[in-house]
Structure 1
Amino acid sequence: MKTDSRIVVTADGSHSLFNEQAGQHYHSIFGARQESERVFMELGLQEAFDRFTETPLRVFEMGFGTGLNAVMTAQEAENRQRPVLYTTVEAFPIPLDEAYQLNFDEVLGTRYTYALHEAPWQIPTVINPYFTLTKQERQLQTFSTDGAFHVVYYDAFAPEAQPELWTADLFQHVAGMMVSNGILTTYCSKGYVQRNLKAAGFRVEKHPGPARKREILRAVKI
């Protein structure tokens, strides 16, 4: 999938991108920041900080995309002074010239967006004293790890655009990279996604979503 895309200003003033080939926005047009805050920070990262006392916390993101989730995680890790090792896969990175147009640092009061996108692939990069990023330019299907993640942000394009990323087999692959009681969060609450998560060994919880989104999911590895 190519990365021909254009900047979109969402309802809360934060940017998203629209991918022309996939016909998909990277974030909700009703508020990119609000969506990431609710789906990935509140239900995922903050819950993991409370649930797992060991450090560092290991976070995995499916779909680095614009880097918004990484920016917000780096900010939260620094605010809490809790070390985070952040690993992400992205098969189709956005061009740097597009990344430089994103307004996340302005909206969030951070200084991470450029550093995250400029970080080399495959090499752990210290973004701040509490946040280390490792980006993998590959598909999720080919990714493996010797460690185990406490929390997974599942932020692939919607099933209509990438159905192969929402199967029970792939969720089982992800579950195999997680600790017991590890947390997976996603914006997609479709019935067959819930069934596939359960088939892969997760307990599925439905939670209220951000603006214009009735339900989102938190899945816990059994």
Structure 2
Amino acid sequence: AVVVLAARRSERIDAVAQEIRERGGRATTCVVDVTKAEDVQRLVAATLGQYGRIDVLVNNAGIAPISPLADLDTESWSAMIDVNLHGMLNGIAAVLPAFREQGTGHLVSIVSVAGLSGVSPSMAVYAATKNAVRTLHEGLRTESTDGVVRTTAISPGYIRTDLADSMTDPGIREQTRKNIDAMGIPPAAVARAVAFAIEQPGDVEIGEINVRPTVQA
């Protein structure tokens, strides 16, 4: 299997690709901004051109410049909608025709536990984008009962990533970093959930997985 890594920061994905290769795997990279439909289309076209097929697309891009709605930070609202929601839609638009043509494909999106049991203060727009992704997944699933396309939504809790860096409110950013330091689990936990979902037989679909620290409320 070949992993094609895509992100805006080439140095980050180049480093990950090199680590995969050092472990005996195969990996290539492509610089992509998911808010630009043409970038995602280019990623899919390049992958198909080099390898002939795409078995799985993992939508992982996400930002969280969260703040109370009363702050009226409409720029951050738009940014979250563009990355978290439009980015996922751009992925669907780019890859769905290939899945249909080859007769199989698996869409995996990294969502969030935010909003699963009520929206926390300051997270209204972020939770709205993530729940919209969950709803889109269910819609695609209902349109794909012919067995061609499988969908999986994976919702992480506190994971040791740099998501807090995208938070513009200093207080919220610092508290989130403290929570991650105190209880965050490694990104590998989410990777294992992705692997579990995509390794199922073709007639088995894992629709949703929640992955959170055991101590997270």
User: In which range does the TM-score fall when normalised by the shorter chain?
Assistant: 0.3 to 0.5
The structure that is strand-richer by fraction is: 1
Q: TM-score, normalised by structure 2?
A: 0.33
Compare CA radii of gyration and give the structure with the larger one. 2
The structure that is helix-richer by fraction is: 2
Q: TM-score, normalised by structure 1?
A: 0.33
